[in-house]
């Protein structure tokens, strides 16, 4: 029997992941992982909601950074979308979105310090790159004819607003609110590098073993995200955007001499800074590549491959939870909630928790990435399956899953998975900050050692790696003829 | 008096020449009915005219109507007047229309029998209603020359006459591409027939014979 190209490609990916698993450290090294896990669950079940002072502060700051960052990112992204036809703009957007918000935060921390600007820009810059691309795609798909009927002399911006933007408005709103949800996750995670958001409080609660405080923080975070549609109303958004900048807190003042020093000294490669000349730059780079970049790239690729395949497997297992073909009135909302909780949990946060419980290895990262991403794709595939109409005599149970729905949904499933490939790689790199030896580990170490020149080169390599995977994923999607449009963006 | 003219224009799809070379003069105050069998090139000729004359304030009512389904009927009609207002005025109108603009647009909608749909999303309307919105937009634009492609194809008898009447009253110079020959003859001063990629008939309406038209189909 001849296999389809999609199945063959999938099998190659699985085989590669199995090979990678031999090279990966997937052990549990903690002394009492299950006891710790039990204590965490008991903390989650008995959340301590009485500490209203820091809980409120964590929530308000998380919201404020998300709104200002996403708002700024959306506005800049919209401006970039207007000129997205230019190759320079497309490359610029690809570059700024290829660098994870935590890397941006680490960079800005070096010269803005713990100033709110660090958190805001760390979200706004990569989000502007994403918004620029997706907004441009959404606007591109609108009907161009209304533009032809406009009277001669209509201004360009007004024409754009009345024709393309008006047509795309529902998709633009849906996508932006999805991004706001992502922004909340990003904002929460920024706490792990010192911003006063949820992650900051979560890390200290963990460090002190206050699992009930961890439970309370997580619970509030889930409530915040699951009720997003209730409190983020189009009419209220301008109000939120106006108030949010005043709720960022004052942080520490910016020392402008740090900013100047960062650009004129810190990031200049050591041989040039030390006056050793260009001839020493080559050996410096070779040393950096061989001792840090290459091991970092290797680990990033290995972890990404395993996490990607596990995400796929978990998605195929989980999507029935979001499908009307497998659930009823009672189990439907329950399944939906499970998927929402999985996708709402930032992978960084989950990896952090699992690392505390299981000890350092790649396993927590693999599980965190797979759980979060399969929650997202499972939700989308489940929703897609609801559009499928089955004949009245269609089989039920496992036959329905294996013969009716999964084959029909396999194309969109692969399209979404390949789309997330680059995102998984970006996350894999960043999880290095937690101690897993991916590129982020070397970036973080370089920053700790105040060797920003090395950190910048490694961040650049990470960005190029992401861009490379994005191009490969796009090529695969085109080769397998997997349709994927802006509206279906996860 | 010549209002606008095309001289030896050609339309191509890739390497294939589908129309022309042809020349045509529009006389001020004259309504031309563009007739010919389906696929003869009426829409292509209209689109050529629009490309050539757009900068001279020519209004277009395309066959696909060119409406924005997510916007209200009011906003779609208002788009006909965008060039006459300041950017700020147009921007505010997107959120909250000005009363005096509403007072100008409502009578146009009343004439075409869709004033009750003024604030409905255009995408929710029937084909005939949407065609009337496109006509209202052209009427509100009120330039000198109108190019309309099948402006009444989705309308029944009396409403088709109302729409064509309102359009020809607003625009003294117009080119109407139409498949309904009876209506075309009734609302035009001159008939231009398209066949085999060129102009096969160009006569004042009162001189057109049935045999002339039959030769086109």
Report the alpha-carbon distance of residue A41 to residue A86 in Å, rounded: 51
Q: Taking a contact as any Cβ pair under 8 Å apart, which residues of chain A between 393 and 452 contact chain B?
A: none
Task: Give the closest of B60, B70, B87 to A169, CB-based.
Answer: B70
Interface-testing mutation among A148, A151, A164, A167, with chain B (most B C-beta atoms within 10 A): A151
* A246 shares its domain with A321: no
Asked if residue A356 belongs to a domain, the reply is yes
> pLDDT category, A484, cuts 50, 70, 90?
low
Residues A162, B67: C-beta atoms closer than 8 Å:
no
User: So what's the pLDDT on residue B2?
Assistant: 64
Report the alpha-carbon distance of residue A483 to residue A85 in Å, rounded: 21
User: So what's the pLDDT on residue A344?
Assistant: 86
Q: Each residue of A171-200: pLDDT tens digit?
A: 999 899 889 989 999 999 999 888 999 999
Q: What is the mean pLDDT of residues B17-27?
A: 84
Judge whether B5 is closer than 8 Å to chain A, CB to CB.
Answer: no
Residues B70, A167: C-beta atoms closer than 8 Å:
yes
- SS3 annotation, chain B: CEEEEEEEEEEEECCEEEEEEEEEEEECCCEEEEECCCCCCHHHHHHHHHHHHHHHCCEEECCCCCCCCCCEHHHHHHHHHHHHCCHHHHHHHHHCCCHHHHHHHHHHHHHCCCHHHCCCEHHHCCHHHHHHHHHHHHHHHCCCEEEEECCCCCCCHHHHHHHHHHHHHHCCEEEEECCCHHHHHHCCCEEEEEECCEEEEEEEHHHCCHHHHHCCC
* A280 shares its domain with A259: no
User: So what's the pLDDT on residue B7?
Assistant: 83
Task: Give the closest of A152, A157, A169 to B83, CB-based.
Answer: A152
Domain end position, chosen among A266, A299, A323? A266
Please name the residue of chain A whose CA is at the shortest distance from the CA of residue B149.
Answer: A149
According to DSSP, residue A326 is labeled: T
- By residue range, what is the domain housing residue A426? 1-30+276-490
CATH class for the domain made up of B1-58+145-152+165-217: alpha beta
Q: Each residue of B51-105: pLDDT tens digit?
A: 888 888 899 999 999 999 999 999 999 999 999 999 999 999 999 999 999 999 9
Residues A145, B59: C-beta atoms closer than 8 Å:
no
CATH 3.40.50.300 region(s) of chain B?
1-58+145-152+165-217
* A86 shares its domain with A68: yes
Q: Is the pLDDT of residue A488 over 50?
A: no
* A24 shares its domain with A67: no
Please count the residue pairs, one from chain A and one from chain B, whose beta carbons lie less than 8 angstroms apart. 74
Mean pLDDT over each residue of chain A, to the nearest integer: 89
Q: What is the mean pLDDT of residues A29-41?
A: 80
Task: Tell me how close the Cα of B78 comes to any Cα of chain A, in angstroms.
Answer: 10
Asked if residue A375 belongs to a domain, the reply is yes
Asked if residue A396 belongs to a domain, the reply is yes
* A318 shares its domain with A230: no
* A169 shares its domain with A257: yes
User: So what's the pLDDT on residue A318?
Assistant: 95
> Pairing mode, if any, of strands B59-61 and B198-204?
unpaired
Domain end position, chosen among A266, A300, A317? A266
* A293 shares its domain with A373: yes
* A437 shares its domain with A459: yes
Q: What is the pTM of this model?
A: 0.84
Task: Give the closest of B62, B69, B83 to A153, CB-based.
Answer: B83
Instruction: State both tokens at A242.
Output: 């106006």
Q: What sign has the CA pseudo-torsion B127, B129, B130, B135? A: positive
Q: Each residue of A76-88: pLDDT tens digit?
A: 999 999 999 899 9
User: So what's the pLDDT on residue A207?
Assistant: 84
> pLDDT category, A483, cuts 50, 70, 90?
low
Q: Percent of chain A having pLDDT more than 70? A: 98
Give A-chain residues touching B60 at CB under 8 angstroms: 148-149
Report the alpha-carbon distance of residue B35 to residue B182 in Å, rounded: 11
Please name the residue of chain B whose CA is at the shortest distance from the CA of residue A168.
Answer: B70
Query: What CATH number does residue A336 fall under?
Result: 1.10.3720.10
Q: Each residue of A372-403: pLDDT tens digit?
A: 999 999 998 998 899 888 888 888 889 999 99
Q: Each residue of A345-368: pLDDT tens digit?
A: 888 888 988 888 888 889 999 999
Q: Each residue of B192-203: pLDDT tens digit?
A: 998 888 888 898
Domain count for chain A: 2
Domain end position, chosen among A246, A266, A286? A266
Instruction: State both tokens at A372.
Output: 């979060």
> pLDDT category, A52, cuts 50, 70, 90?
low
* A26 shares its domain with A88: no
Task: Give the closest of B66, B75, B143 to A148, CB-based.
Answer: B66
Q: Each residue of A163-178: pLDDT tens digit?
A: 999 999 999 998 998 8
* A175 shares its domain with A319: no
Q: Is the pLDDT of residue A100 over 80?
A: yes
Q: Each residue of A400-422: pLDDT tens digit?
A: 999 999 999 998 899 889 989 98
Task: Give the closest of A143, A148, A151 to B80, CB-based.
Answer: A151
Please name the residue of chain B whose CA is at the shortest distance from the CA of residue A159.
Answer: B82
Residues B79, A145: C-beta atoms closer than 8 Å:
no
User: So what's the pLDDT on residue A486?
Assistant: 41
User: So what's the pLDDT on residue A35?
Assistant: 82
Please list the residues that pair with B2 across neighbouring strands.
Answer: B27
Give, for A276, the enclosing helix (H) or strand (E): none
* A25 shares its domain with A90: no
User: So what's the pLDDT on residue A407?
Assistant: 92
* A280 shares its domain with A261: no
Q: By the 8 A CB rule, do B134 and B79 touch? A: no
């Amino acid at each position: 029997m001849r296999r389809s190209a999609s199945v063959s490609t999938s099998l190659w990916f699985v085989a590669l992941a199995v090979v990678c698993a031999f090279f990966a450290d997937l052990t549990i090294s903690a002394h009492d992982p299950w006891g710790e896990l039990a204590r965490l669950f008991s903390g989650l079940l008995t959340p301590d909601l009485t500490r209203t002072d820091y809980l409120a502060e964590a929530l308000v700051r998380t919201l404020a950074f998300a709104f200002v960052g996403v708002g700024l990112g959306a506005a800049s992204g919209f401006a970039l979308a207007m000129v997205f036809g230019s190759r320079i703009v497309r490359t610029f957007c690809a570059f700024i979105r290829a660098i994870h918000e935590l890397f941006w935060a680490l960079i800005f921390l070096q010269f803005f310090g713990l100033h709110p600007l660090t958190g805001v820009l760390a979200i706004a810059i990569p989000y502007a790159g994403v918004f620029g691309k997706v907004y441009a795609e959404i606007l591109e798909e609108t009907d161009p004819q209304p533009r032809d009927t406009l009277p001669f002399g209509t201004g360009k911006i007004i024409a754009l607003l009345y024709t393309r933007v008006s047509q795309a408005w529902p998709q633009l709103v849906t996508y932006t609110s999805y991004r706001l949800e992502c922004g909340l996750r990003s904002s929460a995670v920024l706490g792990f590098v010192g911003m006063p958001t949820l992650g900051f409080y979560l890390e200290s609660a963990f460090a002190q073993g206050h699992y009930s405080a961890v439970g309370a923080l997580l619970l509030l975070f889930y409530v915040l995200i699951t009720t997003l549609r209730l409190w983020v109303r189009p009419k209220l958004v301008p109000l939120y955007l106006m108030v949010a900048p005043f709720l960022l807190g004052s942080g520490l003042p910016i020392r402008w001499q740090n900013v100047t020093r960062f650009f004129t000294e810190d990031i200049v490669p050591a041989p040039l800074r030390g006056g050793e000349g260009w001839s020493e730059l080559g050996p410096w780079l070779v040393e950096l590549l061989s001792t840090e970049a290459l091991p970092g790239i290797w680990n990033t690729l290995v972890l990404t491959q395993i996490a990607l395949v596990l995400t796929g497997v978990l998605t195929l297992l989980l999507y029935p939870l979001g499908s009307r073909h497998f659930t009823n009135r009672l189990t439907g909302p329950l399944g939906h909630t499970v998927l929402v909780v999985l996708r709402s949990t930032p992978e960084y946060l989950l990896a952090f928790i699992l690392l505390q419980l299981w000890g350092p290895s790649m396993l927590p990262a693999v599980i965190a990435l797979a759980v979060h991403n399969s929650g997202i794709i499972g939700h989308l595939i489940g929703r897609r399956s609801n559009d499928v109409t089955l004949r009245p005599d269609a089989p039920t149970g496992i036959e329905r899953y294996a013969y009716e729905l999964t084959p029909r949904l396999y194309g969109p499933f692969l399209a979404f998975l390949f789309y997330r490939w680059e995102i998984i790689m970006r996350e894999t790199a960043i999880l290095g900050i937690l101690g897993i030896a991916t590129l982020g580990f070397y970036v973080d170490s370089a920053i700790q050692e105040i060797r920003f020149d090395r950190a910048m080169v490694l961040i650049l390599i990470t960005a190029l790696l992401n861009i490379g995977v994005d191009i490969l994923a796009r090529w695969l999607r085109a080769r397998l003829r997997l349709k994927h449009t802006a509206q279906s963006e996860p | 008096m010549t209002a606008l003219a095309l001289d030896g224009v050609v339309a191509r799809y890739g390497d294939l020449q589908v129309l022309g070379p042809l020349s045509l003069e529009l006389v001020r105050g004259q309504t031309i009915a563009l007739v010919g069998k389906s696929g003869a090139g009426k829409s292509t000729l209209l689109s050529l005219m629009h490309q050539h004359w757009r900068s001279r304030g020519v209004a277009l009512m395309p066959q696909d109507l060119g409406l924005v389904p997510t916007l209200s009927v009011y906003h779609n009609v208002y788009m006909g007047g965008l060039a006459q207002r300041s950017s700020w005025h147009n921007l505010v109108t997107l959120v909250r229309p000005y009363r005096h603009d509403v007072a100008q647009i409502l009578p146009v909608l009343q004439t075409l029998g869709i004033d009750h749909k003024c604030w409905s999303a255009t995408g929710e309307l029937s084909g005939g209603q949407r065609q009337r919105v496109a006509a209202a937009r052209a009427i509100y634009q009120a330039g000198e020359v109108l190019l309309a492609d099948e402006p009444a194809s989705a309308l029944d008898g009396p409403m088709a006459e109302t729409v064509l009447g309102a359009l020809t009253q607003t625009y003294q110079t117009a080119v109407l591409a139409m498949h309904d020959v009876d209506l075309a003859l009734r609302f035009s001063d001159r008939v231009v027939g398209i066949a085999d990629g060129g102009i096969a008939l160009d006569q004042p309406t009162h001189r057109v014979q049935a045999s002339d038209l039959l030769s086109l189909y």
